[in-house]
């Protein structure tokens, strides 16, 4: 590929339609899994808001109900954002330990 190409010269890349991850269990990629503690959870929804994979599950009353392990990729953002102290309501554990 030559240097300093204009955008019209760039080859077309592949892209996927939005929402296709619903059809795949992308949780297979995970090396660590978030483990949610119902007793410590104050239902602040920080994890639900920040999860990039929409993997925080809510029940019919819109309370946090757990993790969708089929799609959670184990990024740990939910744990990082959980405000509960001194021990968070979500901890990360090695997937296969
Ligand atoms: S580890 Fe990442 S993908 Fe999994 S529930 Fe937490 S924020 Fe979502
Ligand atoms: S961020 Fe922590 S306290 Fe807030 S809803 Fe999620 S698990 Fe519960």
Average pLDDT over residues 46-54: 96
Q: Which atom of ligand 1 is nearest to the CA of 33?
A: 1
The finding on whether 77 has its CB within 6 A of some atom of ligand 2 is no
CB 54 within 8 A of CB 9: no
Question: How do residues 11-35 score in pLDDT, each as one tens digit?
Answer: 888 887 887 777 788 898 899 999 9
In a domain, 90, yes or no: yes
Let me know if residue 81 belongs to a domain.
yes
What does the DSSP 8-state code read for residue 22? G
The count of domains in the chain is 1
- Banded model confidence at residue 77, pLDDT cuts 50, 70, 90: very high
Who has greater pLDDT, 40 or 22?
40
- The angle at the Cα of 61, spanning 55 to 67, to the nearest 5 degrees, equals 20
Q: What is the CATH number of the domain that holds 78?
A: 3.30.70.3270
Which atom of ligand 2 is nearest the CA belonging to 82? 1
Residue 30 lies in a domain: no
Ligand 1 midpoint to CA 10 (Å): 35
Percentage, residues of the chain above pLDDT 70: 98
Q: Please indicate, yes or no, if residue 50 is contained in any of the structural domains.
A: yes
Does 75 contact ligand 2 (Cβ within 6 A)? no
Residue 68 falls within a domain, yes or no? Answer: yes
Q: Which atom of ligand 1 is nearest to the CA of 76?
A: 1
Burial of 20 (0-12, 13-18, 19+ CB in 10 A): exposed
Lowest-confidence region among 15-24, 44-53, 56-65, 66-75 = 15-24
Which residues contact ligand 1 via a Cβ below 6 A? 34, 51, 53, 55-56, 67, 72-78
What average pLDDT does this structure show over 32-54? Answer: 97
């Amino acid at each position: 590929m030559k240097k300093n190409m204009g955008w019209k010269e760039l080859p077309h890349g592949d892209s996927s339609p939005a929402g296709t991850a619903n059809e795949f269990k992308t949780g297979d990629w995970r090396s660590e899994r978030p483990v949610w503690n119902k007793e410590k959870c104050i239902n602040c929804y920080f994890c639900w808001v920040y999860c990039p994979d929409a993997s925080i599950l809510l029940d019919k009353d819109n309370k946090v109900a757990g993790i969708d392990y089929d799609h959670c990729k184990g990024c740990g953002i939910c744990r990082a954002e959980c405000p509960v102290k001194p021990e968070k309501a979500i901890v990360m554990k090695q997937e296969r330990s």
